[in-house]
Structure 1
């Protein structure tokens, strides 16, 4: 059994032996928890490999229960019965967080009904624990995020790398194939390409809501959105060039909060990283995709922009996409060299299919030509990353595998 610092000898009456106790089923999760307690400088903790039975054995020996208790239900055949036994050795004040591998809404609701404060699905991250446990206030944060949409930002290392093309097609895929309600926010206040690629006109709704952020309500925001079908809605603006920003800093936060209350995903098309809206977008994004091409300039900018995106309090999960915006030519940076220079892997490399994708964009349609299969599969994979669903991609892979073996 691997354990962090904890003196299990009984202390003074009324003193807790530990503030935080966790039993987890695997080494990777254990290491994440150790990183968390070190970052939070929590002196009295106990983290070990084990399950509910190990937690019961330990807690039965202690005079006081911990403030926080995290238990892994991975090896529990009857989790509700096991947690009922655990409750018998816990004080009513202990705040229990369950951990598992099943993204099961029914199980989550049942756990909340029996008193578990939250249920986290692996893989566990330090950021997820920080959002769950409020150490300064000594309580588990209220479960609000499950009823709120996810904010996803797309940005590029330079102009012309295909940010709007990729972001817009991901939004369209989510709306048409996963039955989610999507809000697409084009942060280029002077006229981005999203509207023309969808065949719609802007109503300057983004400028409107940013100027009136102090009197916004859900109905107000809904009226500023331009619909493209029943599940995709666009918020954009087209100010005259030279017009200064007609709103205060930090206005975007209120708009995003209202959008997340009404949409499954809020897709942010971030144009100019020097714009104050870009910083606000990254401050409130849970996921960021940075798009680069195979140029030396783009490689260098990837390093700078990754640092800019990730050097903020919310530390958004950031992935690199390598887009082949031109056909292969001598002098391009090879993908392996790109990853070595940037110091991290590329999530997906998007094949060169510029002609068919451009024609579809000019027609305000989704790419449907057979030559765009590679592009569309990448869009589907990105959508799968966000929803946690990859059925079509996996089936295609195994079909190909069987064909190779036959």
Structure 2
């Protein structure tokens, strides 16, 4: 067992006490924790390579349990049972953070139920640990269990692939067909296409809230939204070309946080994936849809963007949507070849819609003959995947047949 110790205190029986104890399964995670301990200047810390059994053995020797305890679940066949045994040797005041390799929501919820404060998926970073463990306040940052909306980010592999068309029609479908409250945020600060496609004018609300982030409250944000119907609201800007963006880092996060308190879905339409706002959007998205077309350039950029989006602490689930914004022509990349090059399946391929869609966008209306063409059917499928409605439909269908899904 490799151990890193910094200025430890000794108990009455010679066993060493520490405010921060961590047992991890690999050297890389150990090094990250060492860096975190040193950066936070914690005087009493104990970092070791080991498993839950090692943690239990160590805690049985110390006079007092630590304030923070990090344990690695890698290799644990029955993590809940192992943590139950660990709890028997811990004082109730110990704040336990579990880490592991499984990005499993079910496991996360089960861990919270038995008293674990948080669950972090490896690889760890110092920034992630700083957001989780507040040394100055002496507590693990609380995991919010309050019901909150989901942040959905849309980004294109290149220009002209129909990001706003898909995102806007998904928002419209969620609001009108599934009766969710939706906030649509157009992050193109110089005037995105969303307003013209909806037939509304921008009030520069996005600029307002980003520049006044310290004064924001739910009522302030609500006043900046432009309504499109009773359940869909738009937040956008129409700044002049060359205008300087005068807002602080993290401003978008605060705006989205407030919106999630009032809306089922907050849809972020990302114009430029290299923009500062785009980076913040990816950092706080609960789901990302990457839109591409069947071109060689879009195929290459999809590979790069997937790596860029998913190489983040929040590691947002990312799905690829293959759109056909133009009529079929020779020379396009085959769908199978696209998926082979990208290294994953396409969630949905949206077929080309020649007349109804273009007319609707120019008139600022919803596409006519909804549900009767390939485009609107694709939007419905994306919405069903997002809301889980496809599972409800499947169960209903099986009940009609007198069957059950095992």
So what's the TM-score if we normalise by structure 2? Answer: 0.70
- 1:380 Cα deviation after fit: 2.2
State how far apart, in whole Å, the 1-side matches of 2:330 and 2:242 are: 42
* 1:46 alignment counterpart: 50
Query: Contact 1:56 / 1:89 at 8 angstroms: preserved in 2?
Result: no
- Paired residues for 1:386-405 under 5 Å: 390-392=390-392, 394-395=394-395
Question: 2-side partners of 1:337 and 1:95: how far apart?
Answer: 49
Between 1:228-237 and 1:283-292, the stretch displaced more is 283-292
C-alpha contact 1:69 1:94 (8 A) present in aligned 2: no
* Aligned twin of 1:364: 365
CA RMSD of aligned residues (A): 4.7
Q: Deviations over 1:228-284 (max 9, x none)?
A: 233321101234x53614633534344334323433432111113354433343344
Q: Are positions 1:319 and 2:319 aligned together?
A: yes
Residue equivalent to 2:207: 207
Question: Could you say which residue in structure 2 is the equivalent of 1:242?
Answer: 241
- SS of the residue 2:237 aligns to: coil
Partner of 1:165: 165
1:319-398 matches, cutoff 5 A? 319-342=319-342, 344-355=343-354, 356-361=356-361, 362=363, 364-365=365-366, 368-372=370-374, 374-384=377-387, 390-392=390-392, 394-395=394-395
**Shift of residue 389, structure 1, vs aligned partner:** 5.8
Gaps of 5+ in 1: 23-32, 49-53
Given the superposition, is the C-alpha separation of residues 173 and 253 from structure 1 closer, same or farther in structure 2, using an over 3 Å criterion?
A: same
Does residue 37 (structure 1) correspond to residue 54 (structure 2)? The answer is no
2:37 equivalent in structure 1: none
Q: Is the 8 A contact 2:197 2:365 kept in 1?
A: yes
Which stretches in structure 2 are left out of the alignment for 5+ residues? 5-10, 35-46
Distance 1:125 1:149, change over 3 A: farther
The Cα shift of 1:150 comes to: 3.6
Counting only pairs closer than 5 Å after superposition, residues 3-402 of structure 1 correspond to structure 2 as: 12-15=14-17, 19-20=21-22, 37-38=29-30, 40-41=32-33, 43-47=47-51, 61-63=60-62, 65=65, 67-68=68-69, 87-96=87-96, 102=106, 116-118=115-117, 126=123, 130=128, 133-134=132-133, 139-144=139-144, 146=146, 148-176=148-176, 180-239=180-239, 241-242=240-241, 244-245=243-244, 247-248=246-247, 250=249, 251-310=251-310, 315-342=315-342, 344-355=343-354, 356-361=356-361, 362=363, 364-365=365-366, 368-372=370-374, 374-384=377-387, 390-392=390-392, 394-395=394-395
Comparing 136-145 with 154-163, greater Cα deviation is found at 136-145
In structure 2, the CA distance between the partners of 1:178 and 1:55, relative to structure 1 (3 Å rule), is farther
Cα displacement (A) at 1:156: 0.6
Q: Is the 8 A contact 2:211 2:248 kept in 1?
A: no
Deviation at 1:365, TM superposition (A): 1.8
Kept in 2: contact 1:291–1:322 (CA 8 A)? yes
Report the 3-state secondary structure (helix = DSSP H, G, I; strand = E; otherwise coil) of the residue aligned with 1:183: strand
Contact 1:183-1:263 at 8 Å conserved across structures: yes
In structure 2, how many angstroms separate the alpha carbons of the residues matched to 1:182 and 1:170?
A: 10
Q: Could you tell me how far 1:166 is from its partner in structure 2?
A: 1.7
The DSSP-based 3-state class of the residue aligned with 2:16 is coil
Q: Answer yes or no: is the 8 Å Cα contact 1:282–1:309 preserved in 2.
A: yes
Quick one: structure 1 residues 347 and 171, their matched pair in 2 at CA, closer, same or farther if it must change by over 3 Å? same
Q: Distance in 1 between matches of 2:324 and 2:31?
A: 39
What is the Cα deviation at residue 331 of structure 1? 1.5
Q: Secondary structure at the match of 2:51?
A: strand
Q: 1:382 to 1:165 in 2, by over 3 A?
A: farther
| Contact 1:182–1:263 (Cα < 8 Å) also in 2 | yes
SS at match of 2:373: helix
Paired with 2:82 and 2:389, the residues of 1 have a C-alpha distance of 30
Question: 1:296, CA displacement in angstroms?
Answer: 1.0
Shift of 1:333: 1.2
- Cα distance in 1 for residues equivalent to 2:333 and 2:149: 37
Which whole-Å deviations, capped at 9, do the CAs of 1:293-348 have from their partners, x for residues lacking one?
Answer: 11011122223434544566655443322222234433111233323433x31441
User: Take 1:319 and 1:398, find their aligned partners in 2: how far apart are those partners?
Assistant: 27
* Secondary structure, aligned partner of 1:191: coil
